Amino acid sequence: MKLYYYPLFLTYIFFIQQAVFAFSDKPKITKEPVWITKIPIDYKANTLDGEALDGYIEMDYQFQVDLASQSKYIHLSRKILSQAGVQNASKVSILYDPRYERLNLHSLHIIRNQKLLNRLVLPKFKVIHQENDLDNFIYNCTSNAFLILDDVRIGDIIEYSYTVTGFNPIFKNKYTEILSLNFSAPLYNLYYKIISPPERNLHIKNMNTSLKARISAKNGQKIYEWSNKNSVPLTLQDYTPSWYNPYYEVFISEYNNWKEVNDWAMELFPTNIMLSAELRKKIKEIDNTYKKKSEKLKYALRFVQDEIRYMGIEMGVNSHKPAHPSIVFAQRFGDCKEKSYLLCTMLNAMHINAQPVLINTELKSKLNDYLPSPKNFNHVTVKVILDNYTYWYDPTIAYQRGDVKELYYPDFQTGLVVAGNTTDLTGIFFSNFNSQQVKNYFKVGAMEGKGYLKVVSTYQGNAADRVRSSFNNKSNAELMNDYQKFYASYYEDIKADSLFFKDDEKSGLFTTTEYYTINNFWTLDKEGVNKFSFSAVIINDIIVKPKEKNRNMPFFLVYPAKYREETVIDLPQYWNVATSEVHLRSNKYTLNSRFYNTGNQVHLYTDYENYSDHVSADQAPEYFKDITEYESSARYELSLASNLANNSVRIEEKIAESETQDTKKSTFLKVFFVTIVLGGMYFWTKRH
């Protein structure tokens, strides 16, 4: 390691050590701040008790902020209504970041029969290190001051208050906040207060509410107050899109515009930085190996996506500030902002224009409705300008293959490009490089015994990225087991025999071939009828059907979704079936299905494509009507009356005989309605 690289590495280690030592900071017991407003609480209120959840109801929530001292005061109280409430609510849990926050406890009482029982005993609080995002490989080292209360009874009111002092220094003392005025659970009393020095300019914007702040002045300070009484719960309907927000909220921000947010972000992603010898060597290797800039881009992106594993240490300022690219390169891991910063650094060093892009993966274009704030983002990607064309890449998506001009980029819709000329959010064009084509080929040798299934699936774009990642991270045995479980929910007694794949890195196409044995292909019912049911299982599995049909909220569609699925059943005898077709089209989706036969083969062809990520509430009736129409022919059943004593050969003979005599025992196809059970999975059940 070169000498000039040591300071970078030691700086990183210093922050790690500071974080570890900070965990020794314990909460203290102090008096309530003098600047708070005391709010009277009616603990006899009971009109909302019937709408309570989990056996308790929130009586009071107060959130008061003094910007000058960087202090947040919180007061909460809840009433226990049942034994379930004793179980669910008899604890105190306060999260804080000891790197820049101090926790002061003020009160903890149980109010029982109008008597105040003090339960604030500092040694009983346990400060534990809590990670809420470990499943996402994010380490933020949050502390949790935790206490399980003794002797809690039905009818008790638990009341406590505390102050957290200190703002994250990464925001340079600029304040932003979102105040929620209603929730999914009832609340009797809600109160917000912000005390601001007169020279600080707070922008305020309401969403879904006309409630105005009460603005006053005291002791040379500007005071903003909001209050709400008897807030009834607002519950989201099932399958609402992530960007849909019907709640009453107040946005607060000291940022005047998005340019100021961009200026803040540019300091986090500086371009003129010193790189380690190892990173410069890697950049030179790619730059010298490939002549075309598109090839340089491809292999730099592939390196960051595939060889820099996703993991984030987001302590203190590192919640938003990325580690130095040389450190990320050396440690071979980083989160989204660090992988994106490393990629931009490598590309710019090869004279390819690249900038980080701040993204909100949930709000998407609804970000335009919010006030400017760096807290509005939860992801970072990359914008690249190559040969006068603009491309977008997500370095956290591993194993992307194909032309760099056609790599899949999620439908994020809107972002803030971190660049010197940025003054506003940028709309992001979505190129739907995503499709899956499936052919299910059943081979049936006789009317009893085994059947065989061959599944050939061709994936492109996002679909290929996902399945390719699975094949790179799971063993063949694990994948076969996953696939077998998927098909076992449709076909009993199925066994996965083998699994093969082909990865075309040039085109990006990924093809899998699966082989199965179905030991008892035909099911014999009590009436002596052999049956086999089938449908477009892949497509049926991703069609969204909310339980709540009377919609006043939109519901999401799996998007992008572009599927073609063909099922062919090669039978031992000619089957005379009636051709049926379904064609459904709207501005949100198309769904086509055709059932027919060719000789002794029965075919079911289905294609499904979504053009949007949601269906609006007013379009819901049409959607449900279409899905019902599709379901009426979505599942098919081949059936044949027979005698239990007959073997397969005799059954085939009877089939032939019955067909020539045109008797009641002739072959027939029954098409019947069956409700497709959708588990609410976001899709790709087959591959997870």
Q: What is the pLDDT of residues 467-509, one digit of tens each?
A: 999 999 999 999 999 999 999 999 989 999 999 999 999 999 9
Confidence of residue 686 (pLDDT cuts 50, 70, 90): very low
Q: In the prediction, which pLDDT does 285 show?
A: 97
Percent of the chain with pLDDT over 90: 76
> Which residues lie closer than 8 Å to 44 by C-beta, 6 or more apart?
none
β-sheet bridge partners, residue 227: 191
Is the pLDDT at 271 greater than 70, yes or no? yes
The CA distance from 317 to 381, in Å, is 19
Report the alpha-carbon distance of residue 442 to residue 529 in Å, rounded.
Answer: 20
User: What's the sign of the alpha-carbon dihedral 363, 364, 365, 370?
Assistant: positive
More confident call, 435 vs 14: 435
Q: What is the CA radius of gyration of the chain?
A: 31
Question: What are the residue boundaries of the structural domains of the chain, listed by start?
Answer: 3-254, 261-427, 434-687
Residue 74 contacts residue 62 (beta carbons within 8 Å): yes
Q: How far apart are CA 316 and CA 328, in angstroms?
A: 18
Local structure of 85: helix, strand or coil: helix
Pairing of strands 115-118, 102-112: antiparallel
Instruction: Please state the pTM of the whole predicted model.
Output: 0.86
The CATH code of the domain at 261-427 is 3.10.620.30
pLDDT at 661 over 80: no
Q: What is the dihedral sign for C-alpha 44, 50, 52, 55?
A: positive
pLDDT 10s digits, 379-402:
999 999 999 999 999 999 999 999
CATH 3.40.50.300 fits 3-254, yes or no: no
Higher pLDDT, 679 or 317: 317
Q: Is the dihedral of CA 273, 277, 282, 284 positive or negative?
A: positive
Name the E strands within 323-469.
333-334, 353-359, 379-386, 389-393, 414-417, 426-427, 434-444, 451-461
Q: Residue 679 above 60 pLDDT? A: no
Q: What is the per-residue pLDDT for 10?
A: 40
Place of tokens 């029965």: 602
Dump pLDDT digits (tens) for 33-70.
Answer: 999 999 999 999 999 999 999 999 999 999 999 999 99
Q: Per-residue pLDDT tens for 69-84?
A: 999 999 999 999 999 9
Where do runs of H (alpha helix) occur along 409-558? 462-473, 476-488, 537-542
